[in-house]
Amino acid sequence: MLNAIDLLKTIPDPEIPVINIVELGMVRDVKMIADSEVEIVITPTYSACPAMFTIEQDIINIFHKHGIIAKVTTQIAPVWTTDWITDEAREKLHAYGIAPPEKGANKTHLEVPKKCPRCGSENTKQISRFGSTLCKASYQCNDCLEPFDYFKCH
């Protein structure tokens, strides 16, 4: 029997390829409709995420390779939260040079210092609210002077 979640774990996020769409918390549900048909429910990290078309096509293609028709449904409520990112994905983001948000950061809405993923310093400053993608902001460490991305909460 084909494990749908294992297949979905092979699909990297197009904008952050070190993590997959399951680790990112985008996959909300998997519904087996029949032996050869499945519905995958996904939630975008941002409602205007430009990678959603690519992710949907990647899902359809990976199941098609296994002889299964995949229907992808986008669910926007409840709104995606960074709390859905797995601990493993947070570690991967950090190792990749992206500062991941702490769990619960969406609930507090407090501006707390972002830890530099390179040296660990909290002596950082925001350079721009908008980073290389919609889900990231640009920061710089005041100690090691390295720029880094922060995976934003919303």
How many whole angstroms separate alpha carbon 126 and alpha carbon 141? Answer: 9
70, 92: one domain = no
Residue 18 located in a structural domain: yes
The count of structural domains within the chain is 2
The answer to whether 153 touches 83, Cβ cutoff 8 Å, is no
139, 113: one domain = yes
Can you give the pTM of this predicted structure? Answer: 0.84
**End-of-domain residue from the set 74, 99, 127:** 74
8, 67: one domain = yes
pLDDT of residue 130: 82
Greatest distance between any 2 Cα atoms in the chain: 56
pLDDT of residue 34: 86
91, 145: one domain = yes
pLDDT of residue 143: 96
**End-of-domain residue from the set 20, 40, 74:** 74
The answer to whether 79 touches 50, Cβ cutoff 8 Å, is no
Return the H-helix or E-strand segment holding 71. Answer: strand 69-74
pLDDT of residue 24: 95
H helices of 9-119, in order, are 52-64, 87-96, 105-108
For the sheet with 37-42, list strands across it.
27-34, 37-42, 69-74
Domain that holds residue 95: 85-151
pLDDT of residue 48: 81
pLDDT of residue 91: 94
Collect the ranges in the chain with pLDDT lower than 50.
1, 109
39, 93: one domain = no
Instruction: Give the pairing of strands 37-42 and 69-74.
Output: parallel
pLDDT of residue 47: 80
25, 58: one domain = yes
Residue 80 located in a structural domain: no
